[in-house]
Homo-oligomer: A and B are copies of this chain.
Amino acid sequence: MLLNFITGNRNKFDEVAAIVPGLVMMDLDLPEIQETDPKAVIVAKLKEATAHHDGAFIVEDTSLTLDCLGGRLPGPLIKWFLQTLGNDGLHELCARFGDFGVEARTLIGLAEGHDDIHFFEGVRRGTIVAPRGDKDFGWGPIFQPDGETRTFGELDREEKHALSMRGEAARKLAEFLTHG
């Protein structure tokens, strides 16, 4: 079975495709609704896709929440924080509060029909540090997972897959596709 991964982000696609077989990148330009609930964002995109196209689809949303912002922001708005503050700005924000705790959460939604949506989640806690390493994209260089001395930016791809929130969600999806 072919599975369409709706994303414009080649890095995200590669990470999930390394774990889930039969994946096809589908760069539909769906509007991202302004929502802090990742499930609502994913459901809106999947319904839009299944309304106009045949097939099976996945959408992923990875959100980052800072303990210093009540553990609720930026959440799915991380894209806009990164765009405006950058990794240095995010690190400085935590430094101002003296609280570097962070949680990264990937949610993958799978739609095989219009009303049939399954979710797969992966969660990693970590610490926001000054940027280190260039092997990852986005906020990877400032995210040091708990139990690690290196940031995502310093880990090889396979090492990151093994312990990242996206890897965990992708493994749950792969398991579901294999065994139902």
Measured CB to CB, the residues of A under 8 A from B are: 31-36, 41, 44, 69-70, 72-73, 75-77, 79-81, 83-85, 89, 93, 96-97
Given contacts A31-B34, A34-B79, A36-B80, 4 further A-B contacts (CB under 8 A): A31-B31, A70-B84, A70-B85, A75-B84
- Is B36 a contact of A34 with CB atoms below 8 Å? no
What residue of chain B has the Cβ atom nearest to residue A76's Cβ?
A: B34
Determine which of B33, B84, B85, B89 lies in contact with A33 in the assembled complex, contact meaning CB atoms within 8 Å: B33
A32 partner residues in chain B, CB cutoff 8 A: 33-34
A31 partner residues in chain B, CB cutoff 8 A: 31, 33-34, 44
Q: How far is the CA of A41 from the CA of B80 in the complex (A)?
A: 14
